[in-house]
Amino acid sequence: MTAPETQPDAQPATRWDDQWEDHPAGAAAAADEPVSITAYPNGPLLVRGTFEILTPTGEVIPPRRKTVALCRCGVSTLKPFCDGSHKAIGFRTEQEPPEPQPPLT
């Protein structure tokens, strides 16, 4: 065994968080990342990130997985989560991108 050679001009390793300029470096970075919500065509909303889902009275619904699917068709028996029922009722979402909202008057 030989000792690893020292490299006097070696730079400190780049931190993962430093790779993205718009994300702050440091321990809080993960928590500060925006939650993403993806609308799946003819299906649920998939939520990824650090989030809480609350009941109307403010109690946390414990998540059972990292990525959850939220019901969008209204007939899930597991609301707020999706149970695949949208397929049985032929739920369809609009294909075109959302219209710009009219300005508030």
Partner 1 sequence: MRIPSSRGPVSGALLELLETSPTDTHTDLVEALHERTATALRDTDDLVQDDDLQTALFLAYELRYSGLTGIHDDWEWHPAVLALCAAIEAPFERTLRERAPMPELPAPGVENVAAALFEFTGADSGPSVSRYLAKKATDEQAREFLILRSIYQLKEADPHTWAIPRLRRHAKAALVEIQADEYGGGRFDRMHAELFARTMRGVGLEAGNGHYVDVVPAITLASSNMMTMFGTHRRLRGAIAGHLAAFEMTSSQPNRLYGNGFRRLGYDKDVTFYFDEHVEADAVHEQIAARDLAGSLATDEPELLEDVFFGAAAGLYVDGLAGAQQIDAWTARASALRVAETAGLRA
**Please, which residue, 23 or 85, has the CB nearer to partner 1?**
85
Q: How far is the CB of 19 from partner 1 (least distance, A)?
A: 17
**Please, which residue, 74 or 84, has the CB nearer to partner 1?**
84
Binding site for partner 1 (CB under 8 A): 40-44, 46, 64-69, 76-78, 81-85, 87-88
**Please, which residue, 6 or 65, has the CB nearer to partner 1?**
65
Tell me the CA distances in angstroms from 53 to 29, 33, 45, 74, 80, one per residue in order. Answer: 21, 17, 13, 17, 9
Angle at alpha carbon of residue 83, lines to 82 and 88, rounded to 5°? 110
